[in-house]
Structure 1
């Protein structure tokens, strides 16, 4: 065999060997960028358990984006993995405002409300279904139900003698136990005979507040959710 043929055979063998080695390395190597995304299983599980979700429901005529600055009051480390949502109610006629179309979770027939006021039960239940759909999405994404909180202001949290509207109804009617709900500038269908039974430790007054939200209220809410999340994390650990 001539020296030229021996050289060509050697070159072909070297190329074949290099191709086989490259193929083997490709089979063993992780996909591009995967190594940087890999997280040890215990750490990933702990991060998932520590995630939380706060859903904020605005009042009549308001919007979700207008309430987004509220999240700035929640700066504790426990909120590092918190996801926030500020949805906007659909535009619909509101009876108590002479049928004017505005952002409203459900219809309100009259203000002020009383135990005998007409109730938009179907509208409230439809709104609750929408809230539950938002919660279901976060649960499916791995957030524990006990780390989910629903908060509402005015119409978003208002309650009546016939049903608990939106915030309370969403929490009470959800099939799994949630972290809790917070109502701002709503009212409960209890007379003085019942409210007098509430212990002093369970009462918190905000003098001169009116129909609005104060910084003190938000700090109280932050403390309450933070303590709940800390207890949840300690239980899991």
Structure 2
């Protein structure tokens, strides 16, 4: 029986935590009986790519669509990362093994997931990025601990994504490989900028495989 585990889900730009809660209903395996889920909502902030409109946003985004070469706003990203780390710290302090902590996110939440797990000082169970991108420049990689480099990354991206282009996702595995981080990359033909059940079913088995090994 898997021990206590924690799954943090980070939504996309303009979305909310509660709107994503139905995701947890797809995780029906008994291994998830002791899983605590968290679906936080991003604070409201002006977003540059939407002409300064105020909406739920984890950090600022300069342009849409996001390409492999889009500019990054690292200072607002790092503030968001600190908040994610505070949530993880609290969960670990409450008795959850870091190996049973998983961070998952879609789009902007996926970019934040990647930054959060790479900049967390300990090895976590995993980080799962859906339709995301690498939201920082390579200078940040100096801050990544050897422990953080052991955290496995799952990356899922739709081939016909017009919002965060497939090329932005495709740039991630070579970037991660260069810094010594393992990444499993899955491309989904016909999938636009969204998440489908096939991706979530795979996520369930991916987390389950890691839960059993760490319990």
**Length-normalised TM-score, structure 2:** 0.75
Q: Which residue of 1 aligns with 2:123?
A: 177
Q: Which residue of 1 aligns with 2:113?
A: 167
Q: Secondary structure at the match of 1:182?
A: strand
Which of the two has greater strand per residue?
2
Q: Which residue of 2 aligns with 1:206?
A: 188
What do the CA deviations read for 1:6-28 (whole angstroms, capped 9, x no partner)? xxxxxxxxxxxxxxxxxxxxxxx
- Quick one: distance in 2 between partners of 1:194 and 1:128? 23
Q: Which residue of 2 aligns with 1:147?
A: 100
Give 1:217's match in structure 2, choosing from 179, 199, 211. Answer: 199
- Give the unaligned 5+ runs of structure 2: 135-167, 178-183
What do the CA deviations read for 1:50-69 (whole angstroms, capped 9, x no partner)? 00000000000000000000
- Give the unaligned 5+ runs of structure 1: 1-46, 159-165
Greater radius of gyration (CA): 1
**Length-normalised TM-score, structure 1:** 0.68
Q: Label 1:110 to 1:221 Cα distance change in 2 as closer, same or farther (>3 A).
A: same
**Higher RCO (Cα < 8 Å, 6 or more apart):** 2
- Quick one: distance in 2 between partners of 1:182 and 1:132? 16
Which of the two has greater helix per residue?
1
Q: Label 1:98 to 1:146 Cα distance change in 2 as closer, same or farther (>3 A).
A: same
The CA RMSD over aligned residues, in Å, is 2.3
Q: How is 1:48-63 mapped onto 2 (pairs within 5 angstroms)?
A: 50-63=3-16
Q: Label 1:113 to 1:86 Cα distance change in 2 as closer, same or farther (>3 A).
A: same
Q: Which residue of 2 aligns with 1:124?
A: 77
- Quick one: distance in 2 between partners of 1:69 and 1:79? 15
- How many residue pairs match? The answer is 174
Q: Which residue of 2 aligns with 1:95?
A: 48
Instruction: Give the C-alpha shift of residue 115 in structure 1.
Output: 5.1
Q: How is 1:75-86 mapped onto 2 (pairs within 5 angstroms)?
A: 75-86=28-39
